[in-house]
Chain A
Amino acid sequence: MHDKELIKELQRKALLIRKYVIDSVYRAGSGHPGGSLSIADILSCLYFHEMRHDPKNPRWPDRDRLVLSKGHAAPALYAALAMSGYFPVEELKNLRKTGHFLQGHPCMLKVPGVDMSTGSLGQGLSVGIGMAIAGKLDEKDYRVFVILGDGEMDEGQVWEAAASASHHSLDNLIAILDRNGLQIDGHTEEILNLEPMQWRWRAFGWDVIEIDGHNIEEILDALHEADKNDKPTLIMAYTIKGKGVSFMEGSLSFHGKPPSDEQYLKAMSELNQAEEELNG
């Protein structure tokens, strides 16, 4: 059992991430709200509870690392980083704008707190392996988190990496699969069947924990349990694309499309209402 206040606080933070996602993508006029909203609860648990990091020292060698392999969810990552204090939250308004540093996809050279540049799908887990091996070589106890999309499971490199991580017994590597079931062209199972997904990972030598990726308690429990395993762990987080905004939930069209003026107001009012309900 987790502290009720903690859970409430992480839910609040997740809602705030969602509001920043909607606001920044709306202002940018482009971006990926659906897959950003689906990982808001996971990012909240990681950045505001689970991860060891220091926003004042983004390159701290002992910090836990996070690789957002599904780099198009950058708006959610940027929100979590800004809320953590890596840069002012006002900067979120300048997402994707010429001359500003918040690139459409994460760029480690420009954005403090971004541990790896991503955007081309399928590459993040390999990078996470390199980071995890470096941790072992240097006898450091940091952990490496990699957030994967289920669409990018189509990429062959993910499976090269899956084999490699278990081969090297990387118990300091935790992958979180955002299993929202949608990719640009349709349902993941219709485009390229991925099931039985958890058994694929188990067959590659991973421990798999299945959770509801919007349930803070389940996320915290899974991260805690992953810590105790001696194999790399995949947390299979079943999520809803567009979670938190009624007309974006389960919607294909909001994979890479910003809300219109009207939709923006509706989305913000829904999230504000959720916030009020949470605060009781």
Chain B
Amino acid sequence: MVSAKITDKMRNLRDGYSSALIKLGYENENIVVLDADLALSTKTKRFGTIFPDRFFDCGISEANMMGMAAGLATCGKIAFASSFAVFATGRCYDQIRQSIAYPQLNVKIVATHAGISVGGDGASHQMLEDMALMRALPNMRVIAPADATEVEDVIPKIASEPGPFYVRMGRADAPVIFVRHNKFKIGKAKLLRRGSDVTIISTGTMTAEALKAYDLLKKEGIEARVIHMPTVKPIDKKAVIKAARETGLIITCEEHSVIGGLGGAVSRAMSEEPVPMRRIGVNDVFGESGDAMELVKKYGLSADNIAKNAKDMLKKKKE
């Protein structure tokens, strides 16, 4: 089991990204960072201030940025390319497909501002299909860290692992749930709560909501298993099947479309041994402008909706 709890400390995942990048920059001179005119928002600018020679603001041209990152990678550079999730994946899907994933180049696409919690900018900026797009690409691995601590574990790990990665983060501050740093294992689920009545599998900052849902359920005598699945691809199939066998009910939670993300990956993983499953995510609709936390609630991405679904599933099971 991995130690995790909702702490009072809020940290932005992007701060974790920039601190990890800077540390890497000092350790390895082959680290280069590219951005597309969002360097202040993605916080890559901090790297650029310290290592101006290895930082490239490409302007508002994501397609060109991905190609440049690919070219740098062919020459032995470890290229981090950042933008908002909506632009970093959808805007340049073909460049990622042809120039990064197919030739399996050492490019790390690290996107911020994923999900509905982008808030006020509205649907045009609320990327809900990025994991689906990136999951579908051969050679691409997809990671959604839960908090800033985990981001700091993920970034050096993917830098040391050759080949392409997609890492997604949201915009909002998020509660720190991992107090201590851990060596990040790609493709490994993190068991956070051991219950056996129902399993909640979550990814990204939704894991904080999953932990809150655990507390809500516990008050009603329900022991939920909580699994944090930072690596959406390759998914930890063993952990999924084990949870399905031992608890008989699965709920997936993600700030992403219910199509093609964690829910898709988990249902595929347990398709040979299926158990009743529900997917909590955005239900195949575009988002809208609003306050981040209000939107999260409105679209059912909060702890109380997870707990409600868990209770409902348990009730149906008994019937």
Residues on A lying within 8 angstroms of B by beta carbon are 61, 65, 67, 107-109, 115-120, 122-135, 137-138, 156-157, 160-161, 163-164
Contact = CB atoms under 8 A, between A and B. Distances in A.
A157 B95 CA distance: 10
B63 A129 contact: no
Given A134-B71, A164-B61, 20 more contacts: A61-B75, A67-B71, A107-B103, A116-B71, A116-B74, A122-B63, A123-B67, A124-B67, A126-B71, A127-B71, A127-B74, A129-B64, A133-B68, A134-B77, A137-B32, A138-B76, A157-B61, A161-B64, A164-B58, A164-B64
B66 interface: yes
Interface in B73-103: 73-77, 79, 94-95, 97-99, 102-103
Nearest to B34: A130
18 contacts: A61-B75, A115-B74, A116-B71, A122-B63, A123-B63, A124-B67, A125-B67, A126-B71, A130-B68, A130-B73, A130-B74, A131-B72, A131-B75, A134-B75, A134-B76, A137-B32, A138-B75, A164-B68
B188 interface: no
B56 interface: yes
Contacts of A161: 64, 67
Interface of B: 32, 53-54, 56, 58-59, 61, 63-77, 79, 94-95, 97-99, 102-104
Nearest to B61: A160
A122 B66 CA distance: 12
A61 B76 contact: yes
Given A115-B74, A157-B63, A130 B69 contact: yes
Contact of B72 (A65, A107, A133): A133
B99 A129 contact: no
A67 B74 CA distance: 11
A138 B76 CA distance: 10
A126 B98 contact: no
Nearest to B73: A130
Contact of A123 (B58, B61, B77, B95): B95
Contacts of A156: 63
A65 B75 CA distance: 10
Among B64, B65, B79, B104, the most chain A Cβ lie within 10 Å of the Cβ of B64
A127 B75 contact: no
Contacts of A117: 98-99, 102-103
Nearest to B77: A134
Given A133-B56, A164-B58, A164-B64, A127 B99 contact: yes
Contacts of B65: 126
Contacts of A164: 58-59, 61, 64, 68
Nearest to A162: B64
Nearest to A134: B75
B75 A129 contact: no
Contacts of B56: 133
A108 B54 CA distance: 25
Contacts of A134: 71-72, 74-77
Given A108-B103, A109-B104, A117-B99, A129 B54 contact: no
Given A120-B94, A126-B66, A107 B102 contact: yes
